[in-house]
Amino acid sequence: MKVLIIGYVWPEPRSSAAGSRMIELIELFRAQDWAVTFASAAALSEHRADLAALDVPEVPITLNCDSFDTFVSALQPDLVLFDRFFSEEQFAWRVERACPQALRILETSDLHSLRDARQRLLKAAQQACSSEAEKHQQGAVSATAVELFNVMAMDDMAQREIAAIYRSDLTLLISDFEQQLLREQFGVPAALLHHCTLMLIPTATVQPSFAERAHFLSIGNFRHAPNWDAVLWLKQQLWPLIRQRLPQAQLHVYGSYTPPKATALQNPKQGFHVLGWADDAHAVMVQARVCLAPLRFGAGIKGKLADAMACGTPNVTTPIGSEGMAGELPWGGAVVKDAQTFADAAVALHEDQDLWLQAQANGARILAERFDRQQSGQALVERLLALRANLPAERRANFVGGMLRHHMLKSTQYMAQWIAAKNRGAPGTSPEPQDKSKL
């Protein structure tokens, strides 16, 4: 099978969980002896994966340009995977026109509209506070599925994202919570969704003991809004509470694309160290005694917590952080909602060896039972092959998707063609509109 992946960005497995997941998918496809090509309109990034080592050609493409039509027509892929719904909006209509029989698969990474809804709920709660101190005390968003639906249903991003899900032959979801939300609240048919836990989580071969480890650790891509909010909450509220109990405690904060506003938080006297990029996340993770992930909003699966479990490092997080990972299994650390409980749990794990060892064992069990790479990969391959074998019937059953492709993508198609004509200098075109978010 010939596979084309259209990435919103080039995969960076050392920077983000989304990058790790993309490499895992590529490796799975290559293991089937499928030919894979990766294309993206993004600028080449400093930390991108070496796709050539996986025998995967890199093809730069251009938004709103007919050159993509020439490229995809010549390639004639059997399967096209869109990395995030933005890519589906931009390129799916072109793929359908040039390769109508190609499977169109949407990889969500996480539900962007869910993350956005939770971020807006957090901001609303903070805006209602009477002081800065009260804002810092706000815990993780705890909205129910019904409450989330009420926030998301009339929102532009949710409508765009779920429309992309309907237009696709299959959508891959990494979180079973998100699959349930789409099915039960938005009414998306189960036939359009596939829960796939594939992630690149190699277990660290050497795991130092409790006594051999020291300090707390926090890690995450600073360009990801939930991670930046977590660092701010650590600095303003959580770390002072921990240091009251453990005056000599040290926190090492790592993250790719560290901005000046993050390095400005550095304060060695308070034990707060902003160390920036970690070339090997596992190398620093196995040295820490406890991982802190105070995520107040977000979506998907948290790669940092999977990495912590793989390194035998217990963690403290929120229900947002643990969502979709453990099922009914006990957590590999502690899951808490508010600042004081978070600090208490962090201190307890740092100081109590028996508690620490039990949390470590819980984390290993979660990875073994919930993130079985072989089982998850085989299930996805079988689903894709079955879908391809029965594609005409599957598409007939998805009437809503066909309707959306017929109507909604026409506006995207015509706008893209107008921009392409403008860029070629065709007569009768006017300046490009300012709002490009819907193109």
Q: Residue 335: which pLDDT band, with cuts at 50, 70 and 90? A: very high
CB 52 within 8 A of CB 26: no
Query: Which CATH number is 216-370 given?
Result: 3.40.50.2000
pTM score: 0.90
C-alpha span between 177 and 323 (Å, rounded): 7
The fold of 2-114+141-201+374-423 is: Rossmann fold (3.40.50)
Token pair listed for 99: 């390769």
Residue 418 confidence (pLDDT) above 90: no
Q: CB-based contacts of 228: which residues, under 8 Å, 6+ apart?
A: 222, 262
What are the pLDDT digits (tens) for 162-218? 999 999 999 999 999 999 999 999 999 999 999 998 776 777 778 999 999 999 999
CB 216 within 8 A of CB 252: yes
Residue 415 confidence (pLDDT) above 80: no
CA torsion 141-147-151-153 (nearest 10°) is 140
What are the pLDDT digits (tens) for 78-124? 999 999 999 999 999 999 999 999 999 999 989 999 999 999 999 99
- Can you say how many angstroms the Cα of residue 86 is from the centroid of all Cα atoms in its chain? 14
Q: CB-based contacts of 137: which residues, under 8 Å, 6+ apart?
A: 237, 338, 339
Write down the mean pLDDT value for the chain. 92
C-alpha span between 376 and 179 (Å, rounded): 16
CB atoms within 10 A of CB 373: 17
- Sheet-wide strand order for 193-195: 58-60, 35-40, 2-7, 79-83, 103-107, 170-173, 193-195
C-alpha closest to that of 330 among 370, 362, 302: 362
C-alpha span between 4 and 272 (Å, rounded): 44
C-alpha closest to that of 182 among 168, 202, 199: 168
User: CATH 3.40.50.2000 region(s) of the chain?
Assistant: 2-114+141-201+374-423, 216-370
What are the pLDDT digits (tens) for 253-276? 999 899 999 999 999 999 999 999
C-alpha closest to that of 290 among 238, 237, 224, 325: 238
Q: Residue 411: which pLDDT band, with cuts at 50, 70 and 90? A: low
- Can you say how many angstroms the Cα of residue 405 is from the centroid of all Cα atoms in its chain? 26
